[in-house]
Amino acid sequence: MNRRDLLKAGLVAVAGMVIPLNALEVFDDEAKAAVKAAIEMVPKKRRWAFVVDTRKCVGCGMCVKACKMENEVPFDADVSRTWVERYVVLKDGDVLIDSPKEARYGYTKNDPMGREIKEDEIAKGFFVPKLCNQCEKPSCVQVCPVGATYKTEDGVVLVDRTWCIGCGYCIMNCPYQARFFHPVYNTAEKCTFCYHRITKGMKPACVQACAFGVRKIGMLNDPNSEVFQIVMNERVMVLKPETGNEPNVFYIGLDKIVR
């Protein structure tokens, strides 16, 4: 192999490497747009969103009671569309988490996980209300084999009770375990943001029942809504962002031990 051949081979190799790189640039704008869309706070479409201010929650469980009554989930059944968790961190580092009876009777005793705890043992503690996150990319909807669950145009995920076959795949795929089987209809059941209320201009039952202003609902792309103001001006967090589901329930005052 002489020098000329070597040069030729080198040029071909370089050209070969450059062409695919150039080809990628075609996608550059698209890629930028995709990244931009992923980090934008406010979606372009109409979206119902929820804010939970965990700093204000006292754990009375009135929201759970209201939800179960409103949405006809049997009150004595051990499942619920919304629930309140109690987190207690002890000074020795132990973390106690519980949610007895989904907190439908509230918290009236200092007995996390059934343990009697003295006040001076506790480092910190708080309550975290949970509900369906009405994800932007709901993994539960993605896996429904029959199209019995879907996302409405305003971003609420609903279940068709007349079409659900009860396979439980959506329940397995919800990172937040917001889904369960309805004990009466035997179909997948979940929080609807009280779709029958919000579409009539009312607030969801849990929001109305909360006397402490923990729960707020509004349109995420409506600059006049309180939810928009909070999401844009305060430091909010979502649960399990690593799943890529892009939840539409935003939390204020979330601790790292909350899952």
Binders of another protein among residues 102 to 141 (CB under 8 A) are 102, 104-110, 113, 119, 122, 124-127, 130, 137-139, 141
Interface positions, 205-244, toward another protein (CB under 8 A): 205, 208-209, 211-213, 242-243
Q: Binding of another protein at residue 202 (CB under 8 A)?
A: yes
* Residue 130, strand partner residues: 83
Q: Binding of another protein at residue 31 (CB under 8 A)?
A: no
Q: Binding of another protein at residue 166 (CB under 8 A)?
A: yes
Q: Which is nearer to another protein, 204 or 228 (CB)?
A: 204
As given in the structure block, the two tokens for residue 75 are 């009150």
Cβ contacts of residue 167 below 8 Å, gap of 6+?
145
As given in the structure block, the two tokens for residue 193 are 């943001």
Where do the DSSP E strands lie in the chain?
A: 48-53, 83-90, 95-98, 122-130, 149-151, 157-159, 180-181, 188-189, 215-219, 249-252
The conformational region for residue 93 under phi > 0 = left, psi -120 to 50 = alpha, else beta, is left
Q: Binding of another protein at residue 47 (CB under 8 A)?
A: no
Q: Which is nearer to another protein, 101 or 221 (CB)?
A: 101
Which of 43, 197, 238, 255 contacts another protein by CB under 8 A?
197
Interface positions, 78-97, toward another protein (CB under 8 A): 78-80, 83, 85-86, 88, 95, 97
Strand ranges across the sheet with 48-53:
215-219, 48-53, 249-252
Q: Binding of another protein at residue 56 (CB under 8 A)?
A: yes
Q: Binding of another protein at residue 196 (CB under 8 A)?
A: yes
| DSSP reduced 3-state for 246 | coil
Q: Binding of another protein at residue 58 (CB under 8 A)?
A: yes
